[in-house]
Amino acid sequence: MVDAERFWAHAASVYDDGIDYVFGNSMRQILLDALKRESNLGRTVEFGCGTGYYTSLLAEMSGSVVATDIAEEMLE
């Protein structure tokens, strides 16, 4: 396991709490506003999806989403 993968694997259990603490709802709203300006998103690929915090937004706004992350623990 490489260092980055190990780091994110350990961060998986507290990731969502941390992202809420750091960004609050502002980043989520910025992404939502940006996606609303786009049309015909079709199929979306999200690299570094973490626990899927933003994946649900992408799924709502596009035809389908393929999401991946370096740390398998993030996807559980």
In three state form, how does the secondary structure of the chain look? Answer: CCHHHHHHHHHHHHHHHHHHHHHCCHHHHHHHHHHHHCCCCCEEEEECCCCCCCHHHHHHHCCEEEEECCCHHHHC
> What pLDDT digit, counting tens, does each position of 1-22 carry?
678 788 777 777 777 776 666 6
Q: What is the pLDDT of residues 49-64, one digit of tens each?
A: 888 888 888 888 888 8
| Residue 76, in any domain of the structure | no
Number of domains in the chain: 1
Q: Is residue 35 part of a domain?
A: yes
* Residue-number span of the structural domain to which 62 is assigned: 3-71
- What is the reported pTM? 0.67
